[in-house]
Amino acid sequence: MRGLGADEAYWKGLAEGQVKVQRCSHCHHWHVPAVFRCGECGSWELQWQRVAPRGRIFSWTRTWHEFGAPKELGLPFVSVVVELDEAGGRRLMGTLAEPMAEVKIGQPVEAEIIQTTFEGETIPALRWHRTGAAA
């Protein structure tokens, strides 16, 4: 993979089947996207912590038109922003497994890691499954 910058460990984690989020070793602030230096306390000591791929839907949108997204997503697809349970409220994006499902803000979800193809490159992605009713 090219041009990963500070997020490299996130993408490597996904490729190995794990969701990892960066955390400051000094002040314990979570960072998404990843940073090279903590903006909260100025520390350069950052670590990557494995977190459960679980959370609640923070926002979502359903896409009906093709515009170059990976073909694995099909049409329509639902993009979701999910607030993680274990990462200080940090949010990750992905798609919902059921594109025609009734989606609600606050709905609990759990992710599986899938492989998508974009411009000939295999890229891991999060596909979220609904696990219960909205709070």
Taking CB under 5 A as the rule, does residue 63 contact Zn ion?
no
Give the span between the Cα atoms of 69 and 61, in whole angstroms.
Answer: 14
Among 1, 4, 41, 52, binds Zn ion (CB under 5 A): 41
Taking CB under 5 A as the rule, does residue 43 contact Zn ion?
yes
Give min distance, CB of 38 to Zn ion, in A: 3
Give min distance, CB of 81 to Zn ion, in A: 24
Count the Cβ atoms, other than its own, within 10 Å of residue 46. Answer: 19
Give min distance, CB of 95 to Zn ion, in A: 31
Residue closest to 1 by CA, chosen among 128, 115, 127: 115
| Window of 36-44, 68-76, 91-99, 109-117 that interacts with Zn ion by CB under 5 A | 36-44
Residue closest to 103 by CA, chosen among 85, 75, 81: 81
Find out whether 111 and 129 touch, Cβ atoms under 8 Å.
yes
Residues that bind Zn ion (CB under 5 A): 24, 26-27, 29, 38, 40-41, 43
